[in-house]
Chain A
Amino acid sequence: MTLLHVENLRVTFPTRQGPAEVVRGVSFTLGRERLGIVGESGSGKSQTGRAILGLTPPPGRATADRLEFDGIDLRAATPRQWRGLRGIRMSMVMQDPKFSLNPVMTIGRQLMEAARRTASRAEARDRAMAMLEAVQIRDPARVFGAYPHELSGGMGQRAMIAMMLIAEPDLLIADEPTSALDVTVQIEVLRILDRLVQDRGMGLVFISHDLRLVGSFCDRVLVMYAGRVVEELKAAELAQARHPYTQGLLNCLPRIEGGRRPLPVLTREEGWAL
């Protein structure tokens, strides 16, 4: 079943040199699966994720031939419709918990604020506590009463994920959700996301620069370069990537097994950006 249709998505920012198109005709569909979007900085992967939620920062503009979430045309959505979707049926987790949590509100209040949109006050409290447990926070009562600065990065990110998932969204866009975390914590956070996809049938768009991680975690991968999708492939077949950019990205990573010295570097061809 298809949850999200994106056809010919374009995001443009006005600059002094004229309009700069940072996403240039991206098309894909998403079912109840884990879709990875990988690319280097400036490839347009984050702007793609933001445009889906209608969060392209002004003066940027997003246009598409089709942008449809569960039968709703997002291009024509009214502010009222958006309020009914964002944070309830579709959510986003950002990279750094330090900047995306409210520093002067306890975690519990922030969670309840998110839960209150779909639940009564008493129910919101129970759901908040249950959600903190669901994201593997060992002492949910302490975290509930804590301020963001009292938590470690890993805890903060789990609290963020709890907040985004409290309304049980159908679609989650995760923009580098684990890049600020230590590797051992990273795996735990991925496990939480994985379970939500498996158990609740959530659709997940996982945006990352880490090809190795995306390859091992997602079902399908879109590789972006200069605002375009240059290759789409099954994560399991990443090693058989055909596009020279994907191959280059894979090859330039150092390996514990070692071998190549100097590391192969990526030589960019102008044709890729056309």
Chain B
Amino acid sequence: MALIDVSDLHVRFGEVHAVRGVSFRVAEGESYGIVGESGSGKSTVLRAICGLAPISEGRVTVAGEELGRRRSAGFHRRLQMVFQDPYASLHPRHTIDRVLSEPLAIHGFDDREARILRALDEVGLGRGFRFRYPHQLSGGQRQRVAIARALILEPRVMLLDEPTSALDASIQAEVLNLLDRLRAERGLTYILVSHDLAVVAHMCERLLVMQHGQAVEELTRADLRARAARETYTRDLLAASEGYRPAESIR
């Protein structure tokens, strides 16, 4: 049975119909990608799953439990999110220690000291970072803190919203490797949203291409590698991700 089942999801913000009937299933331990350009509704799908955007129509089930308006603390513990901009997602006046102890306090975890130290070690930051402030950290280090904050609650599912697009290429590689290793070690399930096909191809076994709030098509990693896209839009995306080609060679 699928761990996450999204069926015919619609999200409306007033007049704006941001997501128009999207369905997909993600199995336990799988890494699933959502690709699209700005305004395609890919991040909104993620936000609807974790409760930051309203589910206007359709159903979202996680581990058999249908998600309504109110969600249990247990749900939020099992499903954690990492946001795009590591500069905006950490409180500028809280130390890393405070950032990491807050979720532990909310969910009533014991043994907080050891958990914080372990989380810092796991994301490769080390204990020396514990009492620093976000402004003393680089973008890559901040994103590691954001991952540690999500991980510290021992979730089963991580929702990753463009986790590396604000980072330099060399730092991106480090963060992707970290996410890959954590998934293997802990059997996590990922839904990763990105505009970068190469990142998704590297991280995810299956992916959904979105445009204008709708699903264009679902592909496997093998389809992507074989350039076996059925829809024109996906083919355009694939061509664009190869880099620039002068106009003549296309016609």
Residues of A within 8 A of B (CB): 40-41, 153, 182-187, 190-191, 194, 209, 211-213, 215-217, 248-249, 252-258, 261-266
Contact = CB atoms under 8 A, between A and B. Distances in A.
B13 interface: no
Contacts of B198: 253-256
A212 B37 contact: no
B202 A254 contact: yes
B193 to A, nearest CB: 14
A215 B201 CA distance: 21
Contacts of B176: 254, 263
Given A183-B241, A256-B198, A265-B177, A40 B37 contact: no
Interface string B232-251: 00001110111111110000
A261 B201 CA distance: 12
Interface string B182-208: 000000000000010111011100000
A194 B246 contact: yes
B224 A262 contact: no
Given A153-B38, A183-B37, A184-B37, A266 B173 contact: yes
A263 B241 contact: no
B146 to A, nearest CB: 18
B88 to A, nearest CB: 16
A183 B170 contact: no
A190 B38 CA distance: 19
Interface in B132-181: 139, 168-170, 172-174, 176-177, 180-181
A39 to B, nearest CB: 9
Nearest to A261: B180
Nearest to A249: B169
B181 A262 contact: yes
Interface of B: 37-38, 139, 168-170, 172-174, 176-177, 180-181, 195, 197-199, 201-203, 221, 224-225, 236-238, 240-247
Most buried by B among A248, A256, A258: A256
Say what secondary structure dominates the interface of chain B. helix
Given A182-B37, A184-B236, A256-B241, A262 B221 contact: no
Contact of A256 (B172, B174, B197): B197
B170 A254 contact: no
A149 to B, nearest CB: 15
Given A194-B246, A265-B177, A258 B225 contact: yes
Contacts of B139: 41
Given A187-B240, A213-B244, A258 B168 contact: no
Contacts of A183: 37, 195, 237, 240-241
A243 to B, nearest CB: 14
A21 to B, nearest CB: 20
B180 A184 contact: no
B51 to A, nearest CB: 28
A263 B202 contact: yes
A111 to B, nearest CB: 25
Contacts of A185: 37
Given A191-B247, A265-B173, 12 more contacts: A183-B240, A212-B243, A215-B243, A249-B169, A252-B169, A253-B198, A255-B202, A256-B197, A256-B241, A261-B202, A263-B173, A265-B174
A256 B225 contact: yes
12 contacts: A41-B168, A183-B240, A216-B243, A216-B244, A249-B170, A252-B172, A253-B169, A254-B176, A254-B198, A256-B197, A258-B202, A263-B177
B144 to A, nearest CB: 14
A210 B247 CA distance: 20
B243 A40 contact: no
B199 to A, nearest CB: 5
A40 B177 contact: no
Contacts of A266: 170, 173
Contact of A40 (B170, B174, B180): B170
Contacts of A190: 244
Nearest to A215: B243
Nearest to A190: B244
Contacts of B225: 256-258
Contact of A209 (B169, B181, B237, B240): B169
B38 A182 contact: yes
Contacts of A182: 37-38, 195
**A-B pairs with lowest CB-CB distance, top 8:** A216-B243, A254-B202, A252-B173, A182-B37, A266-B170, A183-B240, A262-B177, A217-B244
